[in-house]
Amino acid sequence: MALSGMRGLSVFISDIRNCQNKELERLRVDKELGHIRTRFKNEKGLTPYEKKKYVWKMLYIYMLGYDVDFGHMEAVSLISAPKYPEKQVGYIVTSSLLNENHDFLRLAINTVRNDIIGRNETFQCLALTLVGNIGGRDFAESLAPDVQKLLLSSSCRPLVRKKAALCLLRLFRKNPDVVNVDGWSDRMAQLLDERDIGVLTSSMSLFVALVARDYDSYWSCLPKCVKVLERLARNQDIPQEYTYYGIPSPWLQVKTMRALQYFPTVEDPNTRRSLFEVLQRVLMGTDVVKNVNKNNASHAVLFEALALVMHLDAEKEMMSQCVALLGKFIAVREPNIRYLGLENMTRMLMVTDVQEIIKRHQAQIITSLKDPDISIRRRALDLLYGMCDVSNAKDIVEELLQYLATADFAMREELSLKAAILAEKFAPDLSWYVDVILQLIDKAGDFVSDDIWFRVVQFVTNNEDLQPYAALKAREYLDKPAIHETMVKVSAYLLGEYSHLLARRPGCSPKEIFAIIHEKLPTVSTPTVPILLSTYAKILMHSQPPDPELQTQIWAVFSKYESCIDVEIQQRAAEYFALSRKGAALVDILAEMPKFPERKSSLIKKAEDTEADTAEQSAIKLRTQQQMSNALTVTDQPPANGIPSEPQLGPVKVPSMSNESLNTKDQVLTQSNGSATNLQTSTPSPDLLADLLSPLAIEGPPVASLESEQNAVTGSEDTATAVDALALATVGDQANTVQPIGNVAEKFYALCLKDSGILYEDPYVQIGIKAEWRSHQGRLVLFLGNKNTAPLVSVQALMLAPSHLKLELSEVPQIIPPRAQVQCPLEVVNLRPSRDLAVLEFSYKFGTDLVNVKLRVPAVLNKFLQPIPVSPEEFFPQWRSLSGPPLKLQEVVRGVRPMPLMEMASLLNSYHLMVCPGLDPNTNNLVASTTFFSESTRAMLCLVRIETDPADRTQLRMTVASGDPVLTYELKEFIKEQLISIPSASLPPQPITQQAPPSSSPISQSDPGAMLAALL
Amino acid sequence: MIHFLLLISRQGKVRLTKWYSPYAQKERTKVVRELSGMILSRGPKLCNFVEWRGYKVVYKRYASLYFCMCVNQDDNELEILEIIHHFVQILDVYFGSVCELDLIFNFHKAYYILDEILMAGELQESSKKTVERLIDAQDALVEAAKEQANSVSYIISQALSTKLSWMNVNYLYFVI
């Protein structure tokens, strides 16, 4: 053993240890860093020994948590040292100090490659270790083939090959697109025959990564895996050093079973029999022993075997054996086993037919909810949540509520969300649901998110029978001495809407209701005040004929808040005050809220979102998610049509004073667009519907009423927006639970002007686009990026091409691996002039969400234009020769968005219409020229003249000329669309300029121009 | 997959870190702080797993040191727990009844050893003997180089070539 030997390093470490406090430590570190910096600056005097010493010190300092922003180069440069000691330090310090994204690493690639392909085995090992630990894309690109060669080489020692396997694993995991594994199934099969357990273990890790991505290519390896398992189970040919506490490499056993879980099934009866023999032996033969490590190792294998049995949906007998084992585990003293028992029982829920057996353990699971260990409590909560159904919902939810009072803060939010969801999903009756939610708010108000109370309001609004009960309950809670602000909000809202239903009860006259709510006003925060003001207005509206005293009181409140500094409050106060003077007319304006449209619960969505974030790529998980929906279908609930989500829940929905931003409306409408389309689409798969299941079935309104409701909400003047929203290319899917991030239309418009950017984004996926245009051809690349740590599956991209474009989209992979980006080239050829648009229908599945969006592709007319300057000598003869329709068209355009001439000029320029100043003597006019490219027209010169009226900027006269009548017309319409409305980032999408063609019907049946004219 | 490994003392001092997933310097510090807060405060009779940011951290305390490994949520926890033990056993043989002080002053040795046990966030070698053999061979190589460096002829040749070789190294930055 050769310990330290570096005196300077030891002295420094002792110094640090002797520092009395953090401050002194920092001083010592700063001093050392200063010293190292000066030494590095003057490299000449440094011996290799010193250099080594300093980079170790740097790593030590870095490990302590200090910033070390220099010296990386010195560490990297040691890699190219000729002698082993320096090289070793260089490799190890570099791989600990830097991560894959560090620029300096690129400098080392050549040296690393030379070491890998060189003959020195120790150097090979060092280099492979570095690449295996921090190799990024650059490494994958330049080294993957070399590493593959090493792994397969028969002349390499096991030592090198096992490192090569893991190195390749890393490169493949990080950049599956770069590492070519075509035809690897044979090689993999060969690798799985390996006798050396070290190499086999590493190869198995690599194999797991390969099958996780694409099991279909590796069926031939499946029997090999079973062979490996048999070899281990029988302890055949396993050297003593590879047994761990007498168990033949438990790690290899676990990995092999893990790999098998990626195959959907084991078909060959012989292989299946052998596999089950092994599994049976593991299940039966694992005893609890005294030695902790032996116990852990054998149970690691046991739990993996359980997972594999569950995955293979083995015979009934074996499954009940598994459940029995788990039942035993969740009751043992050993916390690790208890934890894993609960975790695996949750996974077991996905297996059909065992739910009933699991329910027998309910009492034990509830006990675990009170375990001293938060990790175990979390598992218990998850399991209870998963096993809840109509039969035990009451017990479980009440248990959760009880636990809420004592639960730790870290869990309360999750707990209340889960309780709320269960109450909603499995409520035996609606009043119980209201009770639960109000209790929830009462007990854990701070942890009840807004969605939860929005939700209860939605239910009450949509269920008339429930309204008096809810109002009464709200009234009761208000009597409590100190109530949570959320309770004030929900009570005020409910009483505002429905307190008139209680009028005959004692203590429920409008005056009393007002008094008790108003009592809370001084204690609430600013966002709650507007809700209370709305309540007052509603109370006033319901008390017709008005009680003069109450009226005076409420008016006094309104006029007080008319000068409030908060705009929202001020506006409401002013408007309510004015409205409430209108007497009986108030009743119409402040009428009761209409029912909310039905949609999937925002709560369930929220719960899924948080899961999606943390979900990991694995066969189990994917399967779990698929089966989750099946499991729900068998609960045999009437299919509820989803339940409304929260954006519509602004308390004030009086059209004339809707305070919501246009954006919200858009969102609402896009949503409605989605559901409307859904109702028309054919046969949604049961899996998708399953998510929406809920016993609280509310009649789904027919399409028409849904739309009219939406219009009522947003006001009729927004029809234009409505149409636009419908035309928005994002057509939500059945579940439509995934909302795009940002405005899809805006992104599209931006891409009409630029050649690269983001086309679409939602929480799971981002689609970027990069385009190059050359005459009538375009080459686009779609970048499909998976933003999650779980793969996106069933990815499909379908290009719906209009007749004038020839589109060729290269194949899109079915699966996008976690955090990966795939590039799909798209070739575009423009056949003839047209403004029609291509639509990309993109769909994927993430967990239970099937997302399907239709996106307009920015292969728009102006992409085929090339600006060209023309001189007066060229322009005028051309202009004259193109005389009159159909080659030259003139139109007076009204309703133009007013803009200064300069702005109009730059607008034209941005669409590749080159403005040629000085051609027109009138300075109020613009003349522009461009060349249009298509296969039918070839390069065609187009000339445009725009005459503006300085007195009235909303109108102009436009003349367009070209050698092709269709082109002239299309170009004229195109420019008109741009002038009438300019989509800009700050505005929500304006009335349609370019309408997405409906996917099925041929395009351009409806002329957007005509539609516009009608709207204006 | 193991995303990172942390060795933290009972006082919250970091003794060793190894990152197999890319974390920037700032994140690394944050992760260490967050996790040491969570893990050090756990009582002795609880399970060895902590759920954290959608991952699982498997940890085990050996005397005054906590060995922590962060893995994916569905990785096999017990398997990881025994990888920790495997690592500790090898350290124990190498240092001869390893203690925290050994790891403090020889943290670089711990890195060498770790690199033979884990790679790419996966277990690389499950035979203790093999790892021990490899580490001994590495030590021997370093020793041999040291002896060579101390020999008189080597010192003379070094003295003659020092200037030139440093120039070469400087030059290398631009070539690679």
- pLDDT tens for each residue of A354-388: 788 888 899 899 999 888 998 999 999 989 988 88
The tokens for A829 are 């050829």
Chain B: residue whose CA lies nearest to A336: B47
A838 within 8 A of A805, measured Cβ to Cβ: yes
Say which residue, A873 or B127, is predicted with more confidence.
B127
pLDDT digits (tens, 9 = 90+) for A248-261: 999 999 999 999 99
Q: Given this model, what pLDDT does residue A694 score?
A: 33
Q: Given this model, what pLDDT does residue B49 score?
A: 95
**One-letter amino acid for residue B62 of the chain:** Y
Per residue, what are the HEC states of A672-712? HHHHHHHHHCCCCCHHHHHHHCCCCCCCCCCHHHHHHHHHH
Residue numbers of B between 19 and 58 with CB closer than 8 Å to A: 19-20, 22-25, 28-29, 32, 42-43, 45-51, 53-55
A932 within 8 A of A833, measured Cβ to Cβ: yes
**One-letter amino acid for residue A534 of the chain:** S
Answer yes or no: do B124 and A166 touch at CB < 8 A.
Answer: yes
Of A96, A166, A621, the CB nearest to B74: A621
Residue A364's Cβ-count burial label (10 Å; 0-12, 13-18, 19+) is: middle
Backbone angles phi, psi at A287, to 5 degrees: -105, 160
Range in A155-169, A263-277, A881-895 with the lowest mean pLDDT? A881-895
CB neighbour list of residue A840: distance below 8 Å, 6 or more residues apart: A759, A782, A797, A798, A799, A800, A854, A855, A856, A857
A725 within 8 A of A669, measured Cβ to Cβ: yes
Instruction: Give the Cα separation of A799 and A794 in Å (integer).
Output: 16
Q: Which of B16, B32, B122 to mutate to test the interface with A (most CBs of A within 10 A)?
A: B122
pLDDT bracket for residue A991 (50, 70, 90): very low
The tokens for A286 are 């694992």
Residues of A in contact with B120 (CB under 8 A): 132-133, 166-167, 169-170, 173, 205
Q: Which of B38, B74, B142 to mutate to test the interface with A (most CBs of A within 10 A)?
A: B74
**One-letter amino acid for residue A172 of the chain:** F
Residues of A in contact with B60 (CB under 8 A): none
> What is the least distance, in Å, from the CA of A687 to any CA of chain B?
24
Mean pLDDT within A720-741:
47
CB neighbour list of residue A702: distance below 8 Å, 6 or more residues apart: A679
Residues of A in contact with B42 (CB under 8 A): 373
Q: How many Cβ atoms are within 10 Å of A441's Cβ, its own excluded?
A: 27
Answer yes or no: do B32 and A65 touch at CB < 8 A.
Answer: yes
Chain A: residue whose CA lies nearest to B43: A373
Nearest to A471 by CA among A447, A484, A486, A490: A490
Residues of A in contact with B143 (CB under 8 A): 2
Per DSSP, what are the bridge partners of residue A710? none
Residues of A in contact with B112 (CB under 8 A): 88, 92
pLDDT digits (tens, 9 = 90+) for A949-975: 888 888 888 899 988 888 898 888 888
The answer to whether the annotation marks A234 as part of a ligand binding site is no
Residue numbers of B between 90 and 129 with CB closer than 8 Å to A: 94-96, 104-109, 111-112, 115, 119-129
Answer yes or no: do A618 and B19 touch at CB < 8 A.
Answer: no
Instruction: Give the Cα separation of B145 and A399 in Å (integer).
Output: 69
Q: Given this model, what pLDDT does residue A548 score?
A: 84
pLDDT bracket for residue A982 (50, 70, 90): low
Q: How many Cβ atoms are within 10 Å of A606's Cβ, its own excluded?
A: 18
DSSP-assigned letter for residue A861: G
> What is the least distance, in Å, from the CA of B64 to any CA of chain A?
16
The tokens for B58 are 């498997």
The tokens for A403 are 């636990």
Q: In whole angstroms, how far apart are CA A185 and each of A141, A166, A251, A611?
A: 21, 17, 23, 34
Nearest to A115 by CA among A135, A87, A77, A136: A87
Is the pLDDT assigned to residue B40 strictly greater than 90?
yes
The tokens for A804 are 């004038």
Tokens 């790419």 belong to B120
| CA B122 from centroid of its chain's CA atoms | 14
**One-letter amino acid for residue A65 of the chain:** G
Tokens 């694995």 belong to A618
The tokens for A699 are 């009649």
Give percent above pLDDT 70 in chain A: 82
The answer to whether the annotation marks A7 as part of a ligand binding site is yes
**One-letter amino acid for residue B170 of the chain:** N
Answer yes or no: do B127 and A163 touch at CB < 8 A.
Answer: no
Backbone angles phi, psi at A269, to 5 degrees: -60, -35
Instruction: Give the Cα separation of A477 and B21 in Å (integer).
Output: 51
Residue numbers of B between 129 and 168 with CB closer than 8 Å to A: 129-130, 134, 137-139, 141-143, 145-146, 163, 166
Where b means 16+ CB within 10 Å and e means fewer, B96-117 reads: eebebebbbbbbbbbbbbbbbb
**Sheet of B55-62, strand order:** B14-19, B2-9, B65-71, B55-62, B49-52
Backbone angles phi, psi at A611, to 5 degrees: -70, -45
Instruction: Give the Cα separation of A153 and A163 in Å (integer).
Output: 13
Answer yes or no: do B123 and A201 touch at CB < 8 A.
Answer: yes
Mean pLDDT within A801-810:
85
Residues of A in contact with B97 (CB under 8 A): none
Tokens 């798969």 belong to A685
CB pairs under 8 A between A and B: 219
Question: How wide is the angle at C-alpha A653 spanned by C-alphas A648 and A657, nearest 5°?
Answer: 130
Per residue, what are the HEC states of A123-166? HHHHHHHHHHHHCCHHHHHHHHHHHHHHHHCCCCCHHHHHHHHH
**Which is it for the CA torsion A830, A832, A833, A835, positive or negative?**
negative
Mean pLDDT within A427-447:
85
pLDDT bracket for residue B124 (50, 70, 90): very high
CB neighbour list of residue A120: distance below 8 Å, 6 or more residues apart: none
The answer to whether the annotation marks A219 as part of a ligand binding site is no
Instruction: Give the Cα separation of A502 and A495 in Å (integer).
Output: 9
Residue B94's Cβ-count burial label (10 Å; 0-12, 13-18, 19+) is: buried
Answer yes or no: do B120 and A80 touch at CB < 8 A.
Answer: no
Range in A20-34, A231-245, A265-279, A661-675 with the lowest mean pLDDT? A661-675
**Sheet of A765-774, strand order:** A756-761, A765-774, A777-786, A821-830, A805-809
Answer yes or no: do B176 and A64 touch at CB < 8 A.
Answer: no
Mean pLDDT within B122-138:
93
> What is the least distance, in Å, from the CA of A296 to any CA of chain B?
6
Residues of A in contact with B165 (CB under 8 A): none
Q: Which of B34, B108, B163 to mutate to test the interface with A (most CBs of A within 10 A)?
A: B108
Q: Given this model, what pLDDT does residue A599 score?
A: 64
pLDDT bracket for residue A937 (50, 70, 90): confident
DSSP-assigned letter for residue A811: P
Pairing between β-strand A938-948 and β-strand A865-867 as defined by DSSP bridges? unpaired
Of A65, A198, A202, the CB nearest to B29: A65
Instruction: Give the Cα separation of A580 and A561 in Å (integer).
Output: 15
Is the pLDDT assigned to residue A791 strictly greater than 60?
yes
Answer yes or no: do B76 and A618 touch at CB < 8 A.
Answer: no
Residues of B in contact with A99 (CB under 8 A): 19, 22-24
The answer to whether the annotation marks A53 as part of a ligand binding site is yes
Q: Could you give the count of Cα atoms lying within 13 Å of A196 in the half-sphere of its Cβ?
A: 16
CB neighbour list of residue A575: distance below 8 Å, 6 or more residues apart: A657
Answer yes or no: do B79 and A250 touch at CB < 8 A.
Answer: yes
Instruction: Give the Cα separation of A569 and A563 in Å (integer).
Output: 9
Answer yes or no: do B46 and A335 touch at CB < 8 A.
Answer: yes
Answer yes or no: do A122 and B141 touch at CB < 8 A.
Answer: yes
Say which residue, A981 or A547, is predicted with more confidence.
A547
DSSP-assigned letter for residue A219: G
Chain B: residue whose CA lies nearest to A168: B120
Instruction: Give the Cα separation of A469 and A486 in Å (integer).
Output: 19
Which of A100-114, A468-482, B78-92 has the largest mean confidence? B78-92
Is the pLDDT assigned to residue A666 strictly greater than 80?
no
> What is the least distance, in Å, from the CA of A38 to any CA of chain B?
17
Phi-psi region of A136 (alpha: psi -120 to 50; beta: other; left: phi over 0): beta
**One-letter amino acid for residue B81 of the chain:** L
The answer to whether the annotation marks A184 as part of a ligand binding site is no
Q: Given this model, what pLDDT does residue A5 score?
A: 65
A997 within 8 A of A835, measured Cβ to Cβ: no
Q: Which of B4, B11, B21, B49 to mutate to test the interface with A (most CBs of A within 10 A)?
A: B49
Nearest to B14 by CA among B51, B78, B65: B65
pLDDT digits (tens, 9 = 90+) for A267-318: 899 999 999 999 999 988 888 888 899 999 999 999 999 999 888 876 777 8
| CA A946 from centroid of its chain's CA atoms | 46
Q: What is the DSSP string of chain B?
A: -EEEEEEEETTS-EEEEEESS---HHHHHHHHHHHHHHHHTS-TTS-SEEEETTEEEEEEEETTEEEEEEE-TTS-HHHHHHHHHHHHHHHHHHHTS--HHHHHHTHHHHHHHHHHHEETTEE----HHHHHHHHHHHHHHHHHHHHHHHSHHHHHHHHHHHHHHHHHHHHHHHH-
Answer yes or no: do B176 and A107 touch at CB < 8 A.
Answer: yes
pLDDT bracket for residue A68 (50, 70, 90): confident
Range in A791-805, A825-839, A982-996 with the lowest mean pLDDT? A982-996
ipTM of the complex: 0.87
Cα-based torsion angle of the residue sequence A1001, A1007, A1008, A1011 in order, rounded to the nearest 10 degrees: -110
Q: What is the mean pLDDT of chain A?
A: 79
Is the pLDDT assigned to residue A665 strictly greater than 60?
no
Mean pLDDT within A869-891:
84
